[in-house]
Amino acid sequence: VAGEDRVRAHRLDSGFWQIDIHFGFAQTPNVPRELGRADIPGLILDPGRMSFFVGRSNVKSTARPGMARWRERFYAGLARIATRPTEFFRIPPDQVIELGAEVEI
């Protein structure tokens, strides 16, 4: 995704903004860097002073019918060792507010 097409901003109510950053398959995401480069009229961005809200799901295997138990455990294990969103998007850990949920499969 070309630099000028990468960042889109939308003004929301109460002084909030929604900023969408698009990366291509082979590009390495770096959210703070892209926010620092963004030129959004009416908005001054300082990535070092921002808080980032990130969702997280903890996958838990259950005995309920559906998927085979070994497959549930395998999937839950893969989910546990996957790269965390904060690492993938290069977000500094001290600027993250993580919201989580436990998902039973």
Return the amino acid letter for 40.
I
Domain map (residue ranges) of the chain: 1-50, 51-105
| Residues 63 and 73: beta-carbon distance below 8 Å | no
Q: How far is residue 17 from each of residues 35, 47, 85, 87, measured CA to CA in Å?
A: 13, 14, 21, 23
Q: What is the mean pLDDT of the chain?
A: 89
4 pLDDT above the threshold of 80? no
105 pLDDT above the threshold of 90? no
The C-alpha angle 32, 102, 71, rounded to 5 degrees, equals 105
Instruction: For residues 88 and 90, give the distance between their C-alpha atoms in angstroms, rounded to a whole number.
Output: 6
pLDDT (tens digit, 9 = 90+) per residue, 45-82?
899 998 999 988 888 888 888 888 898 889 889 988 98
DSSP H helical segments within the chain, as ranges?
Answer: 3-6, 31-37, 69-81, 85-88
Instruction: For residues 92 and 39, give the distance between their C-alpha atoms in angstroms, rounded to a whole number.
Output: 22
Confidence class of residue 97 from pLDDT cuts 50, 70 and 90? very high
The H or E element containing residue 58 is strand 52-60
